[in-house]
Amino acid sequence: MFSLFTLCHLAATSPHKTVCDGRACRPGEGNAQGITHGSNPYDIRGGSLKLNPHEPDPASPLYAPLAAAAKDAASKGLVYMCAADYDFREIASNWMRAFVRLGLKNALVYALDAEAHAHLTARGVRSVDGSLAMADFNRTRLARHIQRAEAERHLAAAAVAASGVDVLLMDCSHVLLRDAAPLLHEAAHSVDVSVPRGNCDGRTTPRSPAGCNPNWSLVWLRGAGSAEQRSRAVAHQVAGVRLGMVDFYLRWWNGAHCILNGFGKLFSNSRPSLDDAAAGSTAVVTMPGGPAGGTRVGLLPLSFFDSPLLYGQQKRSGAAIERAAKPAQRDRLRLDRYDEQDFVELVSAMKENGLWFL
């Protein structure tokens, strides 16, 4: 028998539209506005599946077009990739413009809905339609759009790696200022996965063996290496997503952070240890308790990505990849989708930091 709470839970639907007053909605305009942790009426019930709804199989109908596009775009076995829905279309276009400025062509956008794919393709941005894979998450209990988007982009990157291509998965708000390939290739023979260092305080602990915690929003996967490296990289991505989905069930109020929390917990629970044979400027950490047993993670130097602040005034660091900090923290934990203010603030901050090229 359904309780009143259950009926309300099933009935709640977060508004989302792409056409506003007969024109294209501005980024975030077609979503619920001004939602906070305490006031959000949209706790959407998902499906029944507790784990990822599909595997990152590059030969599957869901991922074959992405794998083909990645191989076509790759340079020296590497492709840069970000994921974007229609609300992120301008930020994704700006992300791609950074590559054009550097004369690089090995980048593609994984579009999370058909509208984003059509918009980007019409503007000459290399894009792959991932809307079917996103729709498959309707079968899961991962209820909110921003959570599904985070999970799906990590699975899509795993599918690219499984196809035999190295992939750097970026947020579309990350801006490439110089080619990062040399830093990635430097340790390619030694690692399966590489991530930037974050929260570096110099103190080594069992969970932070290099004195830094990994930043899982920017991930490089070794797909063009040995079969063993590729297998470990793909297994790591799938395990991180699964653990993140469990993190959401345990803490239902959690926002997009639940997937990133999954990767953090996967790392800290795997008994990570600093490898004595560091590869150049990239510290190598072994995860003996990882999903593939002995996954090797490279902690990239601050010259690769340095973003010390999430909010407030931030100066350019000179790193190969940078991002702008939002002006102030807002409670976004229970959002289904970001609202218009989020996009206005982010674009404004990117312009102020010289990271906006449109």
Domain boundaries along the sequence of the chain? 14-352
Distance of CA 330 to the CA centre of its chain: 20
In tens, the pLDDT along 215-226 reads: 899 999 999 999
Determine contact, residues 225/117, Cβ cutoff 8 Å.
no
* pLDDT at site 277: 46
pLDDT 10s digits, 17-62: 999 999 999 999 999 887 776 666 555 566 778 899 999 999 999 9
CA-to-CA separations, 311 to 22, 182, 249, 331, 350, in angstroms, rounded: 35, 30, 28, 12, 12
Query: Tell me, what amino acid is at 164?
Result: G
Given a contact cutoff of 8 angstroms between Cβ atoms, the answer to whether 99 and 176 are in contact is yes
Helix (H, G, I), strand (E, B) or coil at 23: strand
- Nearest Cα neighbor of 287 from 224, 320, 243 is 243
Q: Is 40 helix (H, G, I), strand (E, B) or coil?
A: coil
What pairing do the DSSP bridges indicate for beta strands 127-129 and 107-111?
A: parallel
The structure tokens listed for 103 are: 């004369």
Per-residue confidence band for 7, with pLDDT thresholds at 50, 70 and 90: very low
Q: Is residue 143 pLDDT above 70, yes or no?
A: yes
Q: Which of 120-124, 297-301, 331-335, 337-341 has the highest mean pLDDT?
A: 120-124
Compute the C-alpha angle 268/269/270, nearest 5°.
95
Q: Measuring CA to CA, which residue among 82, 75, 130 is closest to residue 105? A: 75
Overall average pLDDT of the 283-300 stretch: 87
CA distance 210 to 191: 15
Query: Backbone phi, then psi, for 302, in 5-degree steps?
Result: -65, -20
Is the pLDDT reported for residue 186 higher than 90?
Answer: no
Grouping H, G, I as helix, E, B as strand and the rest as coil, residue 25 is coil
Q: Which residue has the higher pLDDT, 68 or 312?
A: 68
Assess contact for 323 and 173: CB atoms under 8 A.
yes
Residue 344 pLDDT > 80: yes
Amino acid at residue number 265? K
E strands, 89-211, are: 107-111, 127-129, 166-170, 175-176, 193-198
What pTM did the predictor assign? Answer: 0.91
Mean pLDDT for all residues in the chain: 86
Helix (H, G, I), strand (E, B) or coil at 216: coil
Burial of 57 (0-12, 13-18, 19+ CB in 10 A): middle
CATH class of 14-352: alpha beta
Q: Looking at per-residue confidence, does 50 or 2 come out higher?
A: 50
